[in-house]
Amino acid sequence: MASLITVKDVLKVFRSGEKTIHALDQISFEVDEGSFVSIVGPSGCGKSTLLKIISGLLASNSGTIRVNNHQVDRPLENVGMVFQSPVLLKWRSVLGNIMLPVEFAKLDRDRHLETARSLIQLVGLQGFEEMYPFELSGGMQQRVSLCRSLVTDPQILLMDEPFGALDAMTRDELDLELLRIWEERKKTVLFVTHNIQEAVFLSDYVVVMSARPGRLLKKLRIDLVRPRTLEMLSSSQFGEYTLQIRGMLTSASKIPDAAIGSTT
């Protein structure tokens, strides 16, 4: 498979007054077209920062991102983003929220209205099109946010802990839905989570990062058959992957944190 996203030697240092925060240290990995890759790592290791750099929303200090063989130096257009909180506009209906990217990009409304309706169907929100965010559960709001990220049919989905705030059962349900959409619509997904089980369950590869400064510990191939089922969560092969990742994170956390420096 061809590499769609190439992250090469990415380094990011934030400056905040007198302090410097070394967020990412020489991160390199590739994401093949059509694959599902998760990034796991402890809180503050730079996962969100990395996703923002890949999307072109934030510049790195050094290193490069290439998508479709073009260097990223501005916000990408063929990308859908989903964040931890659904960030819906409260004065817009479900359909109105899903159609936002279409309006921003001034795309054909009628054609995309059809896409929006088929996505609503796909995530089981039919009948809720005219409701407002406050009338929806957390899981339903996140489904709306998923539809919004897909309505312009982007090649890539960048997801930052999209289901982290949900209860375990709803998260399992949405994980399965996401896999179905990924398989059906042939997307490339880069998915951030700090839930090791979720990362293994969803992914072809799991990128494991150390605590700050975020370094790449391993890109681990997950050889579980597809389609994935919830029964796999209790298989020994699944357990071995999660143990392996937990082991990497535990040994890396024993290295003292030297990431916060001073500019003086």
Ligand X SMILES: Nc1ncnc2c1ncn2[C@@H]1O[C@H](COP(=O)(O)OP(=O)(O)OP(=O)(O)O)[C@@H](O)[C@H]1O
Q: What is the DSSP string of 47-63?
A: HHHHHHHHHTSS--SEE
Minimum distance, C-beta of residue 62 to ligand X, in the bound complex (Å): 16
- Per CB under 6 A, contacts with ligand X among 11-40 are 14, 16, 21, 23
Question: What is the x/- site pattern for ligand X, positions 226-255, by CB under 6 A?
Answer: ------------------------------
Question: What is the x/- site pattern for ligand X, positions 169-198, by CB under 6 A?
Answer: -------------------------x----
Residue pair 55/79 in contact (Cβ under 8 Å)? The answer is yes
Q: Which is nearer to ligand X, 12 or 228 (CB)?
A: 12
Q: Which is nearer to ligand X, 139 or 213 (CB)?
A: 213
Cα torsion 145, 58, 43, 28 to 10°: value is 110
| CA–CA dist 77, 45 (Å, integer) | 26
Enter the tokens of residue 98: 């899903």
Binder of Mg ion out of 3, 48, 68, 155 (CB under 5 A)? 48
Residue pair 126/102 in contact (Cβ under 8 Å)? The answer is no
Residue pair 208/50 in contact (Cβ under 8 Å)? The answer is no
Which is nearest to 133 in space by CA: 96, 84, 160, 174? Answer: 96
When asked if residue 215 is in the footprint of ligand X (CB under 6 A), the reply is: no
When asked if residue 85 is in the footprint of Mg ion (CB under 5 A), the reply is: no
Scanning 43-51, 69-77, 95-103, 116-124 for contacts with ligand X by CB under 6 A, the matching segment is 43-51
**Binding residues for Mg ion, per CB under 5 A?**
48
**Binding residues for ligand X, per CB under 6 A?**
14, 16, 21, 23, 41, 43-49, 194, 212
